[in-house]
Structure 1
Amino acid sequence: MLQQFPAAAFAPWSPSIKGAFLGTTERKMHQLPVSMLYFYGSKFGHLYEDACATGRPSIFFCAERRQARVGYNKKKHDAVPQNMDLPPILPKKKKKPYPIPLKKIQEAARADKKLAEKGIEKPLEPPKNGLLVPDLIPVAYEVLDAWKILIRGLAQLLHVIPIHACSECSEIHIAESGHDIQDCCGQTSGSRRSFHSWVKGSINDVLIPIESYHMYDPFGRRIKHDTRFNYERIPAIVELGIQAGVELPEYPSRRRTEPIRMIGKKIIDIGGIVEEPPGPHSFGYSGSSIVDLDTHRALERVPPPVESEVPTIAQETMNAYEKVKWGLRKLMKKYTVKACGYCSEVHVGPRGHNAKLCGEFKHQWRDGKHGWQDATVDEVFPPNYVWHVEDPKGPPLTSALKRFYGKAPAVVELCMQAGARIPYKYRPMMRLDIVVPESEEARLIA
């Protein structure tokens, strides 16, 4: 039974007491305790009264319940949402956004120009001055070691886990059969009603090959269109590791002991031009340790695994994938990597090459030259998102339930199906908390 209050005279509210107010009222002995009631969303706290006095005014103190929950860490709890959409697909008829705001780029250029006008040398720190960063040399070795484990682990898992690739577009799918989602954008997709044309996939469909020119001296002569065949193409991750301090006899790199000097954008002292020593520059070189650093014919080099070892291999591959991403972030904070703003070309070094190989949006205006800008980790090491499959042996995914499916990087999805644990940061984009309805139930869901 709720207590009914008679007309009460409340004391004026004082702004010094936030979230609380004082008041007076009268109550009788047979009434319920006031402390058990709620008044306009606030709970009565302390009640001071004389229990023997009937009809005597009572004083109460009313305050809102704003106690913080014990053990609640808002930053940790809200760090990752329950479900997360993938990054938007950038339009091909537009240049990619700059990773660094354009205002900061212009401010740095104006500061360099002022120093150059006064004849003052540009202050450079390693590795911008051509010297190595000693603290990042172990990180470079860890990245290449993890890169080897990643390639070998994927080659072993592909003997067990089937992968399908569309012969008309870049879509891949990891399951017993290809999905039925109508999102093919190939040349003959109109005749197939946007259904994919599935063929057997390879390791290059999981790890998208991003290659870069290997340069003995990144600050030396710039690669021109006519001299591009004088330089070998190797994985961009390997080239970044070499420039960060990894020693590979097959691909030597110049190690300076004296820093270079620059005024503005002009190099005034490079330490002289040193010719590149001859060597076997080919990933197909027999007996070489660098064969394990490339995905070429990896399935032929690596035998199928034992069935009992598949979950262990999958977990090691997942850990190697995270190690490569972690190392790339650390290395790219110091070492310069350039990417074309229109295509997927990547160049490791302080400045991009001059090879006229870009054929994307308005390449005629640039005479085929690339529009160089700072690269991101996803451009050097693309995640290649694929649809997450809850049951690889179940029915194929359909277009009607497309909005209920999640996505994940191809390496993560492949390792998960092989028995690896899913890192927590990938769970929101995979939408593991969503129950996929039946086809006839989808239209009933708001």
Structure 2
Amino acid sequence: MAIWRHKVWRHLSSFQGATYSTTPSRINKSMLNNLRKIRPMIHRRIENRAKDYPIKDIIPVAQDILEARRNLLANVNVLLKVFPVLTCKFCSEVFVGKEGHLIQTCRSYIRRGNTKLHEWVPGSINDILVPVESFHLRNMHQGVIRHQQRFDYDRVPAVLELCCQAGAIHPEEILQYSRFHDNPQISDEDMRSISPEDLKYVGASALMAWERVRAGLKKLLLVYPSKVCKRCKEVHVGPSGHKARLCGVFKYESYHGTHYWEKAGVNDLVPEKVVWHRRPQDPVVLVDEGRSYYGHAPAIVSLCSHAGALVCNTKYACEMKPQGLSFPFTYSILNRET
């Protein structure tokens, strides 16, 4: 403890321009008095900063994000009624299609290998739109959440928490808003009346809503700070991260669950779930030998393209390889794989 204490005082002395002594009794008392005077000034400045939020000019941006998010959830629920989505039983791999691919990319720690075939099970909307939650703060500049206080705060979607701090949702109504809008119900009668042209329109609307959400979040993150842990990808919407020790699962890790916070981006709040994308020129079942030929796309983009939405001219075209060559598929390869 003595060595650690000396390092702290050496750092403070170099910051204040004072001399450092290894003897605790000879520490510069005036430096400590200055630090005690500055501390309440810093606290008052932080408290006064909260009066400037929410910024009125940014509220329409947050409201547009909420509207686009509602349309996105509703349209994706409609598409999932028609187009199946599969997810691996052992890892986070997702595939949009009736039959899963045979590409050996299963990296589950349970199976102990990274060249295993996936075992496919039916997926859900959470496999297309990955949920990211954060602590709901009572106000933007409240005290830091301690580890023993982690159960005193509710967990809400990070996008809603950011819009709430931007003034689009009242803090006391965010839980009710999340329960009401995050689970849109689509009846079977409505699904029977949908034509192929309607599905194409739904896919295009979902893709536009996806882009609106991401574009709006990019603007909000320039004004309202958000943090992400670079180790476990925990997200915290606020000026400083929380102190809940939830990072790490192994006992030998030295940081004891403490998060390493850095500035969050759009992909941290709305992750792009990249999947293998089957093109019209590709075989019905994607095999491992042709993995260098196939394209990739975010899961939401692949789902919308199956519905007929035009995505070849967007920024995802280079990743999807729409005009690329296809693997020379033979049935002997499929029989050998199965």
The TM-score bracket by the shorter chain reads 0.7 to 0.9
Instruction: Pick closer, same or farther for the CA change 1:365–1:336 going to 2, 3 Å.
Output: same
Q: Secondary structure at the match of 1:313?
A: helix
- C-alpha distance in structure 1 between counterparts of 2:118 and 2:293, whole Å: 20
Aligned residues of 2:50 and 2:141 also touching (Cα < 8 A): no
Give, as a single letter, the amino acid of the residue that structure 2 aligns with 1:302. Answer: I
Q: Secondary structure at the match of 2:164?
A: helix
Matches within 5 A, 1:164-183: 164-183=86-105
Match of 1:412 in 2: 301
Match of 1:162 in 2: 84
Aligned residues of 2:85 and 2:122 also touching (Cα < 8 A): yes
Matches within 5 A, 1:267-416: 282=175, 288-294=176-182, 298=184, 301-304=185-188, 305=191, 306-308=193-195, 309-359=198-248, 364-391=253-280, 394-416=283-305
The answer to whether residue 167 in structure 2 is matched with residue 245 in structure 1 is yes
Q: CA deviation at 1:185?
A: 0.8
Q: Give per-residue Cα distances to partners, 1:318-358, cap 9 Å, x unaligned.
A: 11000000000000011100001100210000111111111
Q: CA deviation at 1:392?
A: 10
Give, as a single letter, the amino acid of the residue that structure 2 aligns with 1:322. Answer: E
Q: CA deviation at 1:307?
A: 3.0
Instruction: Pick closer, same or farther for the CA change 1:321–1:362 going to 2, 3 Å.
Output: farther
Pick one of 96, 103, 109 that aligns with 1:187.
109
Give, as a single letter, the amino acid of the residue that structure 1 aligns with 2:58. Answer: L
Q: CA deviation at 1:247?
A: 2.6
Q: Give per-residue Cα distances to partners, 1:347-394, cap 9 Å, x unaligned.
A: 000111111111158883222111111111111110100111114995
Q: CA deviation at 1:146?
A: 0.6
Aligned residues of 2:87 and 2:94 also touching (Cα < 8 A): yes
Match of 2:128 in 1: 206
Pick one of 415, 421, 428 that aligns with 2:318.
428
Q: CA deviation at 1:191?
A: 8.6
Q: CA deviation at 1:227?
A: 1.4
Match of 2:119 in 1: 197
Aligned residues of 1:342 and 1:361 also touching (Cα < 8 A): no
Q: Secondary structure at the match of 2:64?
A: helix
Stretches of structure 2 that go unaligned for 5 or more consecutive residues are 1-14, 16-33, 331-338
- C-alpha distance in structure 1 between counterparts of 2:316 and 2:81, whole Å: 25
Give, as a single letter, the amino acid of the residue that structure 1 aligns with 2:186. Answer: V
Q: Give per-residue Cα distances to partners, 1:277-327, cap 9 Å, x unaligned.
A: xx7x74xxxxx54334435xx5xx223533312111111111100000000
Instruction: Pick closer, same or farther for the CA change 1:130–1:293 going to 2, 3 Å.
Output: farther
- C-alpha distance in structure 2 between counterparts of 1:312 and 1:185, whole Å: 36
TM-score w.r.t. length of structure 2: 0.77
Instruction: Pick closer, same or farther for the CA change 1:363–1:372 going to 2, 3 Å.
Output: farther
Q: Which has the larger radius of gyration?
A: 1
- C-alpha distance in structure 2 between counterparts of 1:218 and 1:180, whole Å: 48
Q: CA deviation at 1:237?
A: 0.2
Aligned residues of 2:104 and 2:114 also touching (Cα < 8 A): no
Q: Give per-residue Cα distances to partners, 1:31-66, cap 9 Å, x unaligned.
A: xxxxxxxxxxxxxxxxxxxxxxxxxxxxxxxxxxxx
Q: Secondary structure at the match of 2:116?
A: coil
Q: Secondary structure at the match of 1:170?
A: coil
- C-alpha distance in structure 1 between counterparts of 2:329 and 2:83, whole Å: 27
Q: Give per-residue Cα distances to partners, 1:394-426, cap 9 Å, x unaligned.
A: 521111010111111110110110111215211
TM-score w.r.t. length of structure 1: 0.59
Q: CA deviation at 1:187?
A: 3.4
Q: CA deviation at 1:182?
A: 0.4
Q: CA deviation at 1:188?
A: 4.5
Stretches of structure 1 that go unaligned for 5 or more consecutive residues are 1-109, 111-115, 253-278, 283-287, 441-446
Answer 1 or 2: which has greater helix percent.
Answer: 2
- C-alpha distance in structure 2 between counterparts of 1:171 and 1:348, whole Å: 28
Q: Secondary structure at the match of 1:404?
A: coil
- C-alpha distance in structure 2 between counterparts of 1:160 and 1:412, whole Å: 15
Q: Secondary structure at the match of 1:199?
A: strand
Give, as a single letter, the amino acid of the residue that structure 1 aligns with 2:244. Answer: A
Give, as a single letter, the amino acid of the residue that structure 2 aligns with 1:377. Answer: V
Give, as a single letter, the amino acid of the residue that structure 2 aligns with 1:428. Answer: C
Match of 2:153 in 1: 231
Instruction: Pick closer, same or farther for the CA change 1:190–1:338 going to 2, 3 Å.
Output: closer
- C-alpha distance in structure 2 between counterparts of 1:171 and 1:338, whole Å: 26
Give, as a single letter, the amino acid of the residue that structure 2 aligns with 1:416. Answer: S
Match of 1:28 in 2: none
Aligned residues of 1:127 and 1:335 also touching (Cα < 8 A): no
- C-alpha distance in structure 2 between counterparts of 1:362 and 1:127, whole Å: 40
Q: Give per-residue Cα distances to partners, 1:259-283, cap 9 Å, x unaligned.
A: xxxxxxxxxxxxxxxxxxxx7x74x
> Percent sequence identity over matched residues?
34
Instruction: Pick closer, same or farther for the CA change 1:192–1:408 going to 2, 3 Å.
Output: closer
Q: Secondary structure at the match of 1:420?
A: coil
- C-alpha distance in structure 2 between counterparts of 1:166 and 1:329, whole Å: 31
